[in-house]
Structure formats: structure tokens, C-alpha cells
């Protein structure tokens, strides 16, 4: 089941340009500009401010210093399919940061786990102490 996006991308905010695809494909690759170069300006988008901030601070290498997300789609033979694939990838990236991260609650180790840890350490120390020379 595919869930609907929390913040759908407005296609008017997306700038797409057709470029020639790389790689194998024979004459078709040399003649036809079927790959799509997608640019999405995050600061100028209609996304909520908290989503923009999480997206800009995500550390994704596809985001430029100016805050523009650049995607390249060339897996299909037609421009239309590549454009749809690029938009789907953009929506996936936005969906990944649309929900705020769950805050971590600090917990303490249980008494049993502390005892097991110390017992394992003493066993290991015993094994290592038996490796030394015998003193007479």
C-alpha cells in the first residue's frame, strides 16, 4: 500500500531540463536528449519551514550551497518516464524528512546487564592472565 505524501511537491516549483543520457544505448543516446536534470529550490519552495530546515541540514551531497536540490534521472528511454522518475525521487526525499525525528529517551542499563558485563570482563581477564609466564 502506497501512502499519500504529507507535503506533495508543487510541479510549478520544479525546474526540469532535458539533457543527453550517459552510458550505453547506441545511436539513441547520441541523438536524443532523454535524461532529465531536475532542480528544486528548497528555500523558495512552499514547504513548511521546519521541513525546509531538516532538508537543508540533512547533509545530502545533491543539495548545493544555495539550497538547490539537483537530481538527474536517466534510467528510462523517454523524457516523460525520466521526468516522472525524478519527481518520484524528489517526493521520496521530501517524505523522508517530513516527519520530525523521534526524540531519544535516555535509559539506564539494567542491573542484570551490568552484572553480565562485569562477569564477562572478569572471565576475559582470567583468560588473559593465564597466558603469561608461570612464576615459581
pLDDT in tens, 28-57: 666 778 889 999 999 988 888 999 999 988
Task: Classify domain 11-98 by CATH architecture.
Answer: 2-Layer Sandwich (3.30)
Q: Are 90 and 41 in contact (CB under 8 A)?
A: no
CA distances from 47 to 55, 104, 115, 120 (A): 10, 26, 50, 52
pLDDT in tens, 107-118: 999 999 999 999
The pLDDT, as a whole number, for residue 7 is: 87
pLDDT in tens, 70-84: 999 988 888 899 999
The pLDDT, as a whole number, for residue 127 is: 94
User: The pTM is what?
Assistant: 0.70
| Burial status of residue 79 (CB atoms within 10 A of its CB: 0-12, 13-18, 19 or more) | middle
Give the residue extent of every domain in the chain: 11-98
Average pLDDT over residues 112-127: 97
Amino acid at each position: 500500500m502506497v501512502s499519500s505524501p504529507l507535503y506533495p511537491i508543487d510541479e510549478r516549483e520544479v525546474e526540469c531540463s532535458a539533457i543527453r543520457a550517459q552510458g550505453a544505448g547506441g545511436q539513441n543516446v547520441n541523438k536524443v536528449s532523454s535524461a532529465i536534470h531536475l532542480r528544486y529550490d528548497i528555500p523558495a519552495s512552499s514547504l513548511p519551514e521546519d521541513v525546509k530546515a531538516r532538508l537543508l541540514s540533512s547533509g545530502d551531497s545533491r543539495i548545493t550551497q544555495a539550497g538547490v536540490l539537483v537530481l538527474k534521472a536517466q534510467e528510462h528511454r523517454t523524457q516523460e518516464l525520466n521526468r516522472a522518475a525524478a519527481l518520484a525521487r524528489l517526493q521520496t526525499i521530501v517524505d523522508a524528512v517530513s516527519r520530525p525525528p523521534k526524540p531519544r529517551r535516555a535509559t539506564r542499563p539494567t542491573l542484570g546487564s551490568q552484572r553480565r558485563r562485569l562477569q564477562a570482563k572478569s572471565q576475559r581477564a582470567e583468560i588473559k592472565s593465564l597466558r603469561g609466564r608461570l612464576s615459581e
